[in-house]
Structure 1
Amino acid sequence: MKNLAILISGRGSNMKSILRAIKSGEIDGIKNVLVISNRPNAPGLEIASKEFGIKTSIVLPDENGQTFDEKLIVELQRNDIFEHNSIICLAGYMRILSPEFVKIYKNKIINIHPSLLPSFKGLNAQKQALIAGVKVTGCTVHLVDDGIDTGPILLQKCVPVYDADTIDSLSARILVEEHEIYVKALKLLASNRLLLKDNKIIQI
């Protein structure tokens, strides 16, 4: 059984799909769940606590010299979120984790990105896809490493790009697939069915 921390900054739509899947039993192997936001007014906090009864926490920058990630580590470990027993999901978390944080939770942090990585890394991936004129884009669940959207890929899903697409219409279609593959990836991780070998993820 794994503990799960979900880090959010906003509405937490991927968080909601994950919590719904845990509640329904689609994802098993998860013991305790904690939702943390770096923004106190993030709508996802209320969704987690009121709709799902999940414990939530807010971690803000420290004025006394302690780094943000140091505070985050303290809060995670206070809630039994350690490298050996947990998974951390980034779900619209709008901060870059420090190399020190990634090292402590090596290969236990996953992220969802709205493109078929390694294409269109970073911000505004949907806009990048439209500007590039690609006919297919999608979304990717990957392990988090020291780079920006560079970690080993767990799962991907293709989404067609239509001539009439706008950023909003393409984003909405990608988001539907994000919800599906994030749940699937977490299900595989929680049941120890993914193996990292030579920087590649193998399903076992």
Structure 2
Amino acid sequence: MRVIVLTTSRLGTAGHHLPVIATAKGIEIVAVILSEGFVTNRSKRHWRNLKKIARIGVLGAFNGVRMRRWYGEALNSYCNIQSVEDTCRSLGIRFEKVPSTNSRQTQQLFKDLGADVAISLGNGYISPKVFTIPRHGMLNIHHEILPDYQNAQSIIWQLYNGSAETGYTIHKIDARIDTGDILLQEHVSIKFRDSLAETVTATLAEVFDRSAQGLKKLLENFHRYYDNARPQGTGKKYTTPSYRQYFTILQNFKRLRNINRIPE
């Protein structure tokens, strides 16, 4: 089976997962495509960001910036994730760059490569002009449980709702975000540490390891999972937490840590 990997991050999910799925039996990764994130409509993006700040407040936006490190720099360091370009070079996988995820260049590459399926590892919205090109469309890994946590940052919203469990979902990509049919899902216990930041990073590292193995298993048994995909049903969407929501997350974290923490 011929597979394309599409990502918008030089580090992160793609760099972590590639060494695992490259060992999948019967799978050829024909190319990894990195979107450089060129924004064609900056005014629309600024307006969207302003509306988000109005919704979550300035303090919520500040917390959002602070939390990025948990999911980015801290996670990459914790897992020793290499850049996707270096990973492709070491694995002998073709590496391509495009200006943006849904660009004409992306569409043309998809057509030229003739893959059976494409995998989204760390992207935002993907247009039907892209995801409908491969014979079996595109799959996405969402590092949360669907449909209950659509568009949600991993772990923090589970804590907000008083849960000590997170997980990942591999689903088909459709015209909306995180709403496609589910192929594979796994629940993972939250790994409680001294701080909320450490808890998020340590847990997400575990979820990354599990989802990489899950994706490998799915690709090796593709039609069994693909043919038995199930619709999500009604879901719930999340965004960056407001300051009040963040305070609830922090309080619930402390309470759940005292109950669930396992000595290292």
When normalised by structure 2's length, the TM-score is 0.61
Partner of 2:149: 120
Q: How far apart, CA to CA, are the structure 2 residues paired with 1:76 and 1:138?
A: 30
Structure 1 residue 105: Cα displacement = 4.1
| One-letter amino acid of the structure 1 residue matched with residue 119 of structure 2 | C
Does the alignment pair 1:52 with 2:91? yes
Of 181, 186, 211, the match for 1:157: 186
Q: How far apart, CA to CA, are the structure 2 residues paired with 1:58 and 1:198?
A: 31
Structure 1 residue 7: Cα displacement = 0.9
1:193 aligns to what SS in structure 2? Answer: helix
* 1:113 to 1:68, Cα distance in 2 relative to 1, 3 A: closer
2:110–2:134 CA contact under 8 A, matched in 1: no
The structure with more radius of gyration: 2
Does the alignment pair 1:18 with 2:21? yes
Q: How far apart, CA to CA, are the structure 1 residues paired with 2:32 and 2:113?
A: 11
1:128 aligns to what SS in structure 2? Answer: helix
> What are the residue-to-residue correspondences of 1:52-131 with 2, within 5 Å?
52-61=91-100, 68-81=102-115, 86-92=116-122, 94-105=123-134, 107-131=136-160
1:107–1:144 CA contact under 8 A, matched in 2: no
Structure 1 residue 80: Cα displacement = 2.8
2:3–2:117 CA contact under 8 A, matched in 1: yes
| Higher helix fraction (1 or 2) | 2
1:134 aligns to what SS in structure 2? Answer: coil
Structure 1 residue 142: Cα displacement = 0.8
Structure number with greater CO (CA < 8 Å, separation at least 6) is 2
Q: How far apart, CA to CA, are the structure 2 residues paired with 1:44 and 1:54?
A: 10
1:118 aligns to what SS in structure 2? Answer: coil
Of residues 144-153 and 99-108 in structure 1, the stretch that sits farther from structure 2 once superposed is 99-108
Q: How far apart, CA to CA, are the structure 1 residues paired with 2:157 and 2:181?
A: 21
2:102–2:130 CA contact under 8 A, matched in 1: no
Does the alignment pair 1:36 with 2:33? yes
* Runs of 4+ residues over 6 Å off in structure 1: none
- String of CA shifts for 1:92-126, please: whole Å, max 9, x gaps: 2x231013333444742111111121121114132
Q: How far apart, CA to CA, are the structure 2 residues paired with 1:124 and 1:32?
A: 28
- String of CA shifts for 1:21-69, please: whole Å, max 9, x gaps: 23xxxx21x34521100139x91022112x11111100014xxxxx933
Partner of 2:5: 6
Q: How many residues align?
A: 180
Instruction: Structure 1 unaligned segments of length 5 or more: list them.
Output: 62-66
1:15–1:91 CA contact under 8 A, matched in 2: no
